[in-house]
Amino acid sequence: MMHLTAFRWVPPFAQGLVRDLRVRWALEEAELQYDVRLIGPDDQKSQAYRKLQPFGQVPVLHDGDLCLFESGAIVLHIAERSAILMPLEASAKERARVWVFAATNSLEQHIQNLTQIDLFNADSAWGIERRPAVMEMLRDRLQKLTDWMTGRHYLENETFTVGDLMMTTVLRILRHIDLLEKEFPELHAYRLRCEARPAFQKALGDQMKAFADHAPTP
């Protein structure tokens, strides 16, 4: 059985977005058995945990003697065990890998630039000045992704892969604004299509239950 680390609680703005969700979703799609070790701030700072995850983040996955960190690496490791996540044909398999990196490298950083401003620096002088340029770059990337998706149900036509899993979790980070709904309805529909998968619903429900169970007492 695999063992996954996740936070026992995070503030509401982060709930449903913490990156162990990607791993939970992949494990559910692959129908692999796993359990979850919930950690808190003290665990993150401990030397024992830093030996597993140098930056004190989640997730960490133990698979036998193998210990992995970074959600993209973990998800690709899991995908290798699943015909649902990773196609069998060689070129299709490599295309699925490409989209994992495209989601995290070509899109996520621009979305994170926006959320950093909107959630933590919205009233700062630099945030107000910087936001229009950040939005312009993000809109450009989202338009390019929309152009690619024209005529496609998923990133590679009609087949859901690990690339779609990763792209969906990246697009979810924009939930604090209605940019997709208003300006990129095709991407909004794509995200909802992927989120409707039972494996995603199970993964999200489990993550949210942990947060509810460990919510601070008012």
DSSP 144-189: HHHHHHTT-SBTBBTB--HHHHHHHHHHGGGGGS-HHHHH-HHHHH
The Cα 142–Cα 138 span in angstroms is 6
pTM of this prediction? 0.97
Burial status of residue 163 (CB atoms within 10 A of its CB: 0-12, 13-18, 19 or more)? buried
Domain span(s) for CATH 3.40.30.10 in the chain: 2-83+199-213
**59 prior amide bond cis, ω within 30:** yes
CB 102 within 8 A of CB 123: no
Q: Per-block average pLDDT, block size 10, for the chain (218 residues)?
A: 98 97 98 98 97 97 98 98 95 97 98 97 97 98 97 93 98 97 98 98 98 94
Predicted pLDDT of residue 140: 98
Which CATH architecture best describes the domain 2-83+199-213?
A: 3-Layer(aba) Sandwich (3.40)
The CATH number assigned to the domain with range 90-197 reads 1.20.1050.10
Q: What is the pLDDT of residue 166?
A: 98
Considering the chain, tell me which residue range(s) the CATH 1.20.1050.10 domain(s) occupy: 90-197
